[in-house]
Structure 1
Amino acid sequence: MTAEAELDAQRLVYVFENGEFPDEVVTTTDLAVRGNQLAYELQRIGIVTGDRVGVMMRNHPEFVYTYVATAKLGTPAVPIDPRARGDKLAYFITFAECSVLLVADYILADDAVADTIRRTGVRTYVLSTPEGRAAGIDPTGWALLNEVFDGPEAPTVREHVTDPTTPSFLGFTSGTTGQPKAIEFTHDRMLLYRRLPVFFGLEEDDVLYTGLSMSHGNAVIVNMMPPLWRAVGHSVFSRRFTRTRLWEICAEYGCTVWSNLGGIATALYSQPPSQLDRNNPVRLVVSAGMPRELWQPFEDRFGVQVCEWYGALEGGFAYNPVGVGPLGSFGKPPADLLQMEVRDSDDQQCAPGEVGELVVRPVSGPAQLTYYKNPEASANKVRDGWLRTGDMVYRDADGWLFFGHRKEEGGMRKLGEFISASYIQRVLAEHPDVLDVYIFGVPARSEAPGETDVVAAVVPAGGAAIDVADLFGLAELKLERSHIPDFIWIVDELPRTVSEKVQSRVLVESFDESDESVFSRLGSKVQG
């Protein structure tokens, strides 16, 4: 970052939008100076190459300064979901063996969280934030991170990374099948990430936007890195993601590109029509998960184009450039970088249209993956040089790839037919009283092998009292028989990961058809 600062000292790199509080602006000089200040402080307290630095906060400039500092020192960053609590939080800190933790004051305002952090014994620095001060949060008793950045410019810390195959940061998986695993992201992955702006069709004057958390790889790869490489103008980050303000923020800050992930597109499409639907500067949505049936209606309504892509934390990348591949496809891998195949349960290549597991390897040689302190899981994930992604997909006759479902989640099948959850979501999202909706399957009451009953978890818009019979009527009018939900479950919100992915496992485990918030297809409450 020192070289970037010398080239253009005041080049704007990031704007951090924070609702009612003033924006925080980051320039190349800020990155160089403050990243170095933090590196110097970490070095002063004895942090050495290979130690791990935890960071637990929403989207703040200090999050980026942490990445700059750890890159200098060769100390892998460990981004932790700011919503983590209890045993899971303790696990993140202790399993990663964090030598130090950087945390925001509003997180420690929860006494239980503060107690958990204290019990781990990790050395902790607290960031006093504008929102924390406004709420009267007093970080007395903790070392203040602010004092590190407010102090004098520190002596220059030299670069400690000499081996590009060493870890840059640890990324925790979602832990759908057990305790989350920590993937070691190496420095040389940047060779692929530097090409993503070209693959996505980003332009030098683009302004990127996201409200996704910097503790997730999507925000780092798609929004944090391109401005550093001068591939775009700058990026705008919201402190926290708010669907209802996305178009407003893009209009106010001149954002031309934003990142779709999880159920964001469905939630936006569910919003009532607004003058901002087309009266905004956005030209492109870089999407990882645009429902096929929503794709064209979404582009038409909002006047944008969609570049769909696929990326697995463990490795693998494919993309579908605007106007090139078929709607619904997440694309093909870059032919000079990666190979992808679709394999059946016997590890044989699947025919076009046949669902199988996506496997991937570099063109240059066998796939490499390291789960931190878990060699057995690493070995199981890579076999015969191919990385097993756990994603069930299929190819069309021209080689375009389409997502089916996660291997551990299975697919929804009803009346012998594979169910398109995105199609159901689109139809129900068009109801004016629906704010958000997610479709998942539960074991069929018929107990037929492999069959599921379809559940629509629906979040009412603005506290509206949804006419469930009307919602079922809409489904019956617009959906084929196999796709009509068996249950509609009225919920206050959908459980989501930090990457805005709906946690289907949580919904499945919480679903109780005898609950008064669950309605059967006939519109009457299911009785226990």
Structure 2
Amino acid sequence: MKDQAILANLIEAKMQKNPDLDVLTFVNINPAGDFEDEIRSYRQLWEQGQRINQALLERDMEKGSSFALVMQNHPEFIDAMVGSSLAGTVFVPIDPRTGGDRLHYMLDWAECSGVFCADYCFNRVYEVCKNMPQIRWIWVMDTGEKVTLPSDPRVEAYEQVIAGDYTERECRVDSPEEVMQMLYTSGTTGDPKAIRAPYLRFDNVASIGPMIDMREDDRPYTGLSLTHANAQLITLGNVLKMEMRGVISRRFSKSRLWDICRHYGCTMFNLLGGMTTAIYSEPRRPDDADNPVRYILSAGMPAAIWEDFKKRFDVELFEFYGAAEGGMIFNPPGGPVGSIGKPPANLIARVIDEDGRECAPGERGEIVFEAAPGLPELAVTYFKNPEASAKKVQSGVFFTGDIGHRDHDGWFYFDSRKGDEIRRNGEFIDTAKIEKTIAEYDDVADVFVYGIPALSGVPGEKDVIAAVVPVDACLFQPEKLLQHCRQSLGRTELPSFIQVLSEIPKTASEKPQARFCFELFKEHKNHVYDFAS
């Protein structure tokens, strides 16, 4: 029997068992606001995967060689995953908004031989690839952007690449320990690192469905990018493995999220920290609680809005913590508000200080993981970066880089990313409380609170910046927002600055990027209102 921990083998087995199940529905919101969808059955995934496999082999892609996937959430993204598995190649997902030096770095570092991209990002891709002779082929998928392709033999229309007959071939992957993909970290503090992720990692996460209360009759939804581990491993992986009928939107839309769930009957979806506040910022509607969603798998639901969020949308919350490299903690419905939960039986989680000693309950420290006794040690491999790999996992202990604490009953709590803590007047600031207050202000559509080194020069202290996206920038009055904040926040919690943005810079996983907000702040490219005095 073929090992179904390998993606191509899984699709083949499901195709033989239930070929025509509409396992994946891809949704796009057209300019008129209507939903357009496209289906993938197991049979279609297998056939399209075989076509891509043949095209990869015809371009002399050797086993273990890599190529980039640069597109939003299209069915072809999954087709390429299956085709790559059949060919034994390594795919490299890249956020389609990436361009310039960063894109050059990511393609070059991962040693990509080709790029499969959508037409809407082709110009950025080609501008970089013109001076990269190692890129031997570029496939361009037509989505209606009417891009003129250059007379470069490397550039081909994807529709022509897979046209015609194909020969069905066996999967070239022999072991689930072989590398399936290279997932880039967000790179919020420097160049992103490429995680060499084996098939075993995909299969392990694709097997947690029952642990996070997924049922075979569920219809999961995600609007997160498939270039991110959450959408790809948790939603897609478990949908494929459990034979559910998943729904994936081309990109995340906080204003149409509930409409999509109602239209397609979605019963659960995933949210990451920054998304929860953005959704909570949406104007209240009479039908907020009229939806088919029974629970949300949230990673970073702020305690400040936890109960209000549940009540407003009539959903249960299943809090989840995890990193692309590994480590998991679960807090099922009914667990303590604000807690990320407890680790599953195969993992041990601890909170340690800078000397490696375990912290007492309530004391902040770094969250670390190790395998339970009798199981293989945890390991992380960053491509061509043995120093970072060795630093991330030391003697089987996985260092998350996240600061947290645990209570007397063993429940874990996330506090901040290491180095991102905001201390003001000697106190740690609860940014979630500030964001909740601002999100409830009617004239704000989105908000992100972050800290910068205090302009006073006091060591270790930070000033609080509230980056906001107004509903109407012409009518927005920051002084009135500050008056609103004074009604709920203490003096130490009040923003020092209100930064008005047209949009908050975010990663592919919808995580706000403080670094880019701060760059805009320093350059005064956007309106900044000083309330520090």
Shorter-chain TM-score range: over 0.9
Q: What is the CA-CA distance between 1:513 and the residue it aligns to?
A: 9.3
Q: Which residue of 303, 320, 328 corresponds with 1:309? A: 320
Q: What is the CA-CA distance between 1:127 and the residue it aligns to?
A: 3.5
Tell me if structure 2 keeps the 8 A contact 1:126–1:139: no
Q: Which residue of 2 aligns with 1:30?
A: 44
Q: What is the CA-CA distance between 1:354 and the residue it aligns to?
A: 0.9
CA distances 1:334-371 after superposition (whole Å, capped 9, x unpaired): 02x11111110111111111111111122214221111
Q: Which residue of 453, 465, 485 corresponds with 2:475? A: 465
Tell me if structure 2 keeps the 8 A contact 1:81–1:498: yes
Does residue 189 (structure 1) correspond to residue 201 (structure 2)? The answer is yes
Does residue 123 (structure 1) correspond to residue 136 (structure 2)? The answer is yes
AA aligned opposite 1:347: G
How do 1:268-417 and structure 2 match up within 5 A?
268-323=279-334, 325-335=335-345, 337-363=346-372, 364-407=375-418, 409-417=419-427
The CA RMSD over aligned residues, in Å, is: 1.8
Does residue 517 (structure 1) correspond to residue 527 (structure 2)? The answer is yes
Tell me if structure 2 keeps the 8 A contact 1:358–1:392: yes
Q: Which residue of 2 aligns with 1:420?
A: 430
- The 3-state SS of whatever aligns with 1:192 is helix
Tell me if structure 2 keeps the 8 A contact 1:37–1:149: yes
Q: Which residue of 2 aligns with 1:223?
A: 235
- The 3-state SS of whatever aligns with 2:69 is strand
Distance in 2 (alpha carbons) for counterparts of 1:150 and 1:276: 46
How do 1:441-456 and structure 2 match up within 5 A?
441-456=451-466
Q: Which residue of 2 aligns with 1:260?
A: 271
Distance in 2 (alpha carbons) for counterparts of 1:326 and 1:22: 40
Distance in 1 (alpha carbons) for counterparts of 2:526 and 2:195: 41
Does residue 210 (structure 1) correspond to residue 222 (structure 2)? The answer is yes
Distance in 2 (alpha carbons) for counterparts of 1:481 and 1:397: 31
Q: What is the CA-CA distance between 1:182 and the residue it aligns to?
A: 0.4
Q: What is the CA-CA distance between 1:194 and the residue it aligns to?
A: 3.1
Tell me if structure 2 keeps the 8 A contact 1:199–1:321: no
Distance in 1 (alpha carbons) for counterparts of 2:525 and 2:139: 42
Q: What is the CA-CA distance between 1:297 and the residue it aligns to?
A: 0.5
Tell me if structure 2 keeps the 8 A contact 1:512–1:518: no
Q: Which residue of 2 aligns with 1:165?
A: 177
Normalised to the residue count of structure 2, the TM-score between the two structures is 0.93
Does residue 69 (structure 1) correspond to residue 79 (structure 2)? The answer is no
AA aligned opposite 2:137: T
Compared CA separation, residues 515 and 60, structure 1 to 2 (3 A) = closer
AA aligned opposite 1:44: E
Q: What is the CA-CA distance between 1:100 and the residue it aligns to?
A: 1.7
Does residue 146 (structure 1) correspond to residue 159 (structure 2)? The answer is yes
340-349 or 154-163, which deviates more: 154-163
Tell me if structure 2 keeps the 8 A contact 1:40–1:155: yes
Distance in 2 (alpha carbons) for counterparts of 1:423 and 1:265: 13
Q: What is the CA-CA distance between 1:515 and the residue it aligns to?
A: 7.3
Runs of 4+ in 1 over 4 A off after TM superposition: 513-516
Q: What is the CA-CA distance between 1:385 and the residue it aligns to?
A: 1.8
- The 3-state SS of whatever aligns with 1:120 is coil
Distance in 2 (alpha carbons) for counterparts of 1:182 and 1:145: 26
Distance in 1 (alpha carbons) for counterparts of 2:213 and 2:517: 36
Distance in 2 (alpha carbons) for counterparts of 1:229 and 1:462: 45
- The 3-state SS of whatever aligns with 1:349 is coil
- The 3-state SS of whatever aligns with 2:23 is strand
AA aligned opposite 2:365: G
Q: Which residue of 164, 175, 186 corresponds with 1:174? A: 186
Distance in 2 (alpha carbons) for counterparts of 1:3 and 1:139: 38
- The 3-state SS of whatever aligns with 1:275 is coil
Q: Which residue of 1 aligns with 2:447?
A: 437
AA aligned opposite 1:83: R
Distance in 1 (alpha carbons) for counterparts of 2:353 and 2:88: 40
AA aligned opposite 1:341: R
CA distances 1:478-508 after superposition (whole Å, capped 9, x unpaired): 1122211111111111010111000112222
- The 3-state SS of whatever aligns with 1:276 is coil
Tell me if structure 1 keeps the 8 A contact 2:452–2:462: yes
Give the paired residue count. Answer: 513
Q: Which residue of 236, 250, 254 corresponds with 1:243? A: 254
Q: What is the CA-CA distance between 1:138 and the residue it aligns to?
A: 3.3
CA distances 1:41-97 after superposition (whole Å, capped 9, x unpaired): 111221121111211111111100111111222211100110111111111111101
Q: What is the CA-CA distance between 1:464 and the residue it aligns to?
A: 5.1
Does residue 106 (structure 1) correspond to residue 102 (structure 2)? The answer is no
- The 3-state SS of whatever aligns with 1:308 is strand
Distance in 2 (alpha carbons) for counterparts of 1:395 and 1:279: 36
Does residue 491 (structure 1) correspond to residue 501 (structure 2)? The answer is yes
- The 3-state SS of whatever aligns with 1:388 is strand
Q: Which residue of 2 aligns with 1:92?
A: 106
Tell me if structure 2 keeps the 8 A contact 1:247–1:276: no
Tell me if structure 1 keeps the 8 A contact 2:115–2:138: yes
- The 3-state SS of whatever aligns with 2:121 is helix
Q: Which residue of 1 aligns with 2:5?
A: none
AA aligned opposite 1:415: N
Q: What is the CA-CA distance between 1:113 and the residue it aligns to?
A: 3.6
AA aligned opposite 1:338: L
Question: Which ranges in structure 2 are unaligned for 5 or more consecutive residues?
Answer: 1-10
Q: What is the CA-CA distance between 1:200 and the residue it aligns to?
A: 1.5
Question: Which ranges in structure 1 are unaligned for 5 or more consecutive residues?
Answer: none
CA distances 1:229-261 after superposition (whole Å, capped 9, x unpaired): 125x31111112221111111111111112111
Q: Which residue of 24, 27, 40 corresponds with 2:54? A: 40
Distance in 2 (alpha carbons) for counterparts of 1:216 and 1:516: 29
Tell me if structure 1 keeps the 8 A contact 2:274–2:512: yes
Tell me if structure 2 keeps the 8 A contact 1:428–1:434: yes
Normalised to the residue count of structure 1, the TM-score between the two structures is 0.93
Tell me if structure 2 keeps the 8 A contact 1:320–1:330: yes
Q: What is the CA-CA distance between 1:137 and the residue it aligns to?
A: 2.4
Tell me if structure 1 keeps the 8 A contact 2:310–2:316: yes
Distance in 2 (alpha carbons) for counterparts of 1:432 and 1:303: 21
AA aligned opposite 1:229: K
Tell me if structure 1 keeps the 8 A contact 2:455–2:463: yes
**Percent same amino acid at aligned positions?**
39
Tell me if structure 1 keeps the 8 A contact 2:434–2:493: yes
Does residue 8 (structure 1) correspond to residue 18 (structure 2)? The answer is yes
Distance in 1 (alpha carbons) for counterparts of 2:286 and 2:86: 46
AA aligned opposite 2:361: P
